[in-house]
């Protein structure tokens, strides 16, 4: 409790830059008994405001491969596996996979699309693909972010089952942040519950 | 049943306390001191005289979202008087025992700040924790991009923390520090960043393969819980604040989302799915079995947030008709639905919640005083179409 209080105090100090209590002696109305000084301080200034707070050079971004074969799932590619690879979102656009509400199960109707993506990757052995999971607006934000990722992972698993090396498949979830249709009805929602495919080709 | 008993016990304890402390008061005044069951408490009635303009509206807002309501001098339990010609001078008196609770003048800073300080002085004089000088962080969206913002708890003085023209999500204050964790897509990948607001420096905190989501700093700030898909499923992980000692706490192809911590740091609570049913669960940060937190069959509970006093867990329930902010005793029990909304975050006073409310396709932020169910919208940032995912600095 005491510790908590101290931390709170510390925080308050940072925010207010010292709330100075000036006790005046007189009790008359013009000179009140207790005067609380409030310097017009702002909360800790953001110094790195520039063009989007770049990462300080002293903090190189590293990735960890994680334990191999984490129980049951396929280990994801390092974050920078295909960094700088040119992207093409049009090649596999016809193969966008759609999902049922609140589901990451690949429907029978969508399986030929995953097959088409697998075929493309087989015919273009140097290329990789990023599977982007998306949701409709109906779930809560972070629930949807996890759901979108499960949709991407489900397709990656299926691609692996079709013989594609999963190190050629990146996944990302945008939750409900990237709807293709901004509407608020089922017609819009069913367009938004999807996995998009972005082709990544090795830099020349 | 057990819960009812405990509430009854609480009630009788409060009743005794009341009887002891308010023997001299007229009996009808006791109505202001009813037990604070979520959604059922009566507001404390106050009157205000002498304050004008922004000072008056600011004070009304500050007190309303902490369980006070404004009335005339006859009906009021506390009388607030003062003036704001230039600086603020204000006092609070209790007309029934003719005592003065607060009598102060404030100088320096903008008038709003002086009023917030006075609101805190008043609330603290009643033995409560004031929240009028606290901050919130949130996501501000202007499709197709979003940025992290911080603002006063009432939405005023908002400033952008990021300006990446990318997507961000899930800001989380580090308790006791002027720092945030949040998700950023700046690097074309869903990564968790740590951002020190005092120095402006930030660094990629979790940048594992797959998506890095939903960071939650432990009460002391020494550990961080999060959702990662690095091992092929979306699971709950925890690591030290320096990024070391990453532990995987769940191993399931089912969904886990939105972790939060108990204030004693003993538990991480999160939304999960067990036997095809969505539930709230808790797990020790050092691992072990998952425990279900009963919510009385509330549909699809997500986005839990544990109150700083340890007693309640607020969460979002998803009904056919929409989303509801609910609270449930932290040990589980009957959930109480409060208002329509999503993603609650407790204030340090363990009674006010910040949450997001849908309006068409956009979100606005509101504050809810849980005991009285009094609600006010926070001030919006002009030019920002949607504000969501509030995190209250504690």
Residues of B with Cβ-Cβ distance to A15 under 8 angstroms: 133, 135, 178
Q: Does domain B36-133 have CATH number 3.40.50.9100?
A: no
Residue B28 DSSP label: G
Query: What pLDDT, on the 0 to 100 scale, is given for residue A72?
Result: 65
Query: What pLDDT, on the 0 to 100 scale, is given for residue A7?
Result: 53
At residue A200, the 3 state secondary structure works out as strand
Give the dihedral of Cα atoms B205, B206, B212, B215; nearest 10 deg.
-50
* Cβ-contact B67, B44 below 8 angstroms: yes
At residue B58, the 3 state secondary structure works out as helix
Other beta carbons within 10 Å of B170: 28
Query: What pLDDT, on the 0 to 100 scale, is given for residue B18?
Result: 41
pLDDT in tens, A107-120: 999 999 999 999 99
Q: Which residues 6+ apart lie within 8 Å of A90 measured at CB?
A: none
* Cβ-contact B241, B224 below 8 angstroms: yes
Q: Does domain A87-200 have CATH number 3.40.50.300?
A: no
Q: What percent of chain A has pLDDT above 90?
A: 63
pLDDT at A133 over 80: yes
pLDDT at A34 over 80: no
Residue B366: closest CA among B196, B154, B56, B91:
B154
C-alpha B381/C-alpha B158 separation (Å) is 7
pLDDT band at A36 (very low <50, low <70, confident <90, very high): low
* Cβ-contact B250, B258 below 8 angstroms: no
Of B109, B271, B361, the CB nearest to A38: B109
B169 close contact with A: CB closer than 8 A: yes
pLDDT band at A38 (very low <50, low <70, confident <90, very high): low
Of A34, A75, A171, the CB nearest to B231: A75
C-alpha B391/C-alpha B394 separation (Å) is 9
Query: What pLDDT, on the 0 to 100 scale, is given for residue B1?
Result: 43
Report CB contact under 8 Å: A171, B211: yes
pLDDT in tens, A42-88: 344 444 433 333 333 333 333 333 333 334 689 999 999 999 999 99
C-alpha B146/C-alpha B190 separation (Å) is 14
Q: Which has more confidence, B78 or A33?
A: B78
pLDDT at A174 over 70: yes
C-alpha B350/C-alpha B129 separation (Å) is 9
Work out the burial of residue A187: count CB atoms within 10 Å of its CB; fewer than 13 is exposed, 13-18 middle, 19 or more buried. Answer: exposed
Domain boundaries, chain B: 1-30, 36-133, 167-392
**B167-392 CATH pick, 2.30.42.10, 3.60.15.10, 2.120.10.30, 3.40.1280.10:** 2.120.10.30
B303 close contact with A: CB closer than 8 A: yes
pLDDT in tens, B345-392: 999 999 999 999 998 779 999 999 999 999 999 999 988 999 999 999
Q: How far is A123 from chain B (nearest CA, A)?
A: 25
Report CB contact under 8 Å: A147, B197: no
Q: How far is B33 from chain A (nearest CA, A)?
A: 26
C-alpha B317/C-alpha B325 separation (Å) is 7
B344 close contact with A: CB closer than 8 A: no
Query: What pLDDT, on the 0 to 100 scale, is given for residue B351?
Result: 96
Q: What angle do CA B156, B157, B160 make, to 5 degrees?
A: 120
Average pLDDT, chain A: 77
Report CB contact under 8 Å: A76, B271: no
φ/ψ of B143, rounded to 5, equals -45, 135
Of B165, B211, B302, the CB nearest to A172: B211
Query: What pLDDT, on the 0 to 100 scale, is given for residue B187?
Result: 94
Which residues of chain B fall below pLDDT 70?
1-36
Domain boundaries, chain A: 9-37, 87-200
The DSSP string of A38-102 is ---PPSS--TTTTTT-PPPTTS-------STT-TTSPPPPPTTTTTT--EESSTTGGG-EE--TT
C-alpha B226/C-alpha A146 separation (Å) is 11
pLDDT at A190 over 60: yes
Of A41, A79, A146, the CB nearest to B255: A146
Report CB contact under 8 Å: A44, B175: no
For range A169-180, the mean pLDDT: 97
pLDDT at A17 over 90: no
Query: What pLDDT, on the 0 to 100 scale, is given for residue B275?
Result: 79
pLDDT in tens, B264-318: 999 999 999 887 889 999 999 999 999 999 999 899 999 999 999 999 999 999 9
C-alpha B21/C-alpha B39 separation (Å) is 25
């Amino acid at each position: 409790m005491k510790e908590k209080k101290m931390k709170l105090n510390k925080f308050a100090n940072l925010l207010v830059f010292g709330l100075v209590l000036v006790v005046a002696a007189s009790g008359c109305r013009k000179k009140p008994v207790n005067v609380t000084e409030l310097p017009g301080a702002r909360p800790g200034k953001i110094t790195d405001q520039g063009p989007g707070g770049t990462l300080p050079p002293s903090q190189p971004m590293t990735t960890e491969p994680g334990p191999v074969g984490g129980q049951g799932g396929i280990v994801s590619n390092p974050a920078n596996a295909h960094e700088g690879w040119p992207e093409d979102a049009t090649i596999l656009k016809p193969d966008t996979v759609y999902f049922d509400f609140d589901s990451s199960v690949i429907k029978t109707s969508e399986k030929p699309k995953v097959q088409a993506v697998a075929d493309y990757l087989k015919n273009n052995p140097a290329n990789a693909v990023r599977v982007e999971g998306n949701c409709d607006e109906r779930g809560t934000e972070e629930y949807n972010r996890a759901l979108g990722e499960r949709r991407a992972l489900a397709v990656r698993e299926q691609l692996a089952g079709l013989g594609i090396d999963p190190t050629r498949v990146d996944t990302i979830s945008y939750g409900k942040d990237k709807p293709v249709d901004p509407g608020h009805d089922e017609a819009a929602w069913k367009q938004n519950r999807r996995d998009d495919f972005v082709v990544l080709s090795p830099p020349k | 049943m057990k819960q009812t008993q405990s509430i009854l016990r609480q009630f009788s304890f409060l009743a005794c306390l009341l009887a002891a402390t308010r023997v001299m008061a007229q009996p009808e005044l006791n109505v202001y001191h009813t037990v604070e069951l979520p959604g059922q408490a009566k507001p404390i009635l106050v009157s205000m005289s002498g304050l004008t303009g922004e000072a008056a509206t600011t004070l009304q807002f500050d007190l309303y979202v902490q369980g006070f309501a404004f009335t005339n001098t006859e009906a009021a339990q506390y009388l607030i008087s003062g003036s704001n010609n230039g600086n603020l001078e204000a006092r609070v008196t209790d007309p029934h025992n003719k005592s003065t609770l607060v009598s102060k003048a404030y100088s320096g800073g903008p008038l709003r700040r002086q009023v917030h300080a006075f609101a805190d002085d008043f609330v603290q004089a009643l033995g409560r924790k004031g929240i009028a000088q606290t901050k919130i962080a949130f996501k501000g969206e202007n499709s197709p991009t979003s940025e992290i913002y911080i603002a006063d708890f009432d939405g005023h003085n908002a400033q952008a923390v990021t300006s990446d023209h990318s997507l961000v999500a899930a800001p989380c204050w580090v308790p006791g520090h002027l720092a945030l964790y949040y998700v950023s897509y700046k690097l074309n990948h869903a990564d968790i960043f740590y951002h020190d607001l005092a120095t402006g420096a930030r660094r990629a905190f979790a940048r594992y393969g797959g998506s890095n989501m939903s960071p939650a700093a432990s009460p002391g700030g020494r550990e961080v819980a999060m959702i990662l898909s690095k091992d092929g499923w979306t699971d709950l992980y925890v690591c030290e604040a320096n990024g070391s000692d990453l532990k995987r706490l769940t191993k399931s192809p089912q969904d886990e989302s939105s972790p939060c911590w108990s204030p004693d740091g003993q538990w991480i609570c999160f939304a999960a799915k067990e036997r095809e049913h969505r539930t709230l669960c808790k797990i020790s940060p050092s691992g072990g079995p998952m425990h279900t937190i009963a919510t009385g069959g509330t549909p699809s509970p997500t986005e839990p947030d544990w109150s700083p006093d340890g007693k309640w867990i607020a969460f979002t329930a998803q009904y056919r008709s929409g989303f509801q902010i609910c609270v449930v005793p932290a040990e589980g029990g009957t959930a109480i639905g409060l208002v329509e909304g999503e993603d609650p975050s407790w204030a340090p006073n363990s009674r006010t919640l910040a949450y997001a409310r849908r309006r068409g396709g956009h979100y606005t932020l509101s504050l809810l005083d849980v005991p009285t169910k009094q609600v006010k919208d926070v001030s919006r940032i002009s030019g920002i179409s949607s504000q969501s995912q509030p995190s209250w600095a504690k």
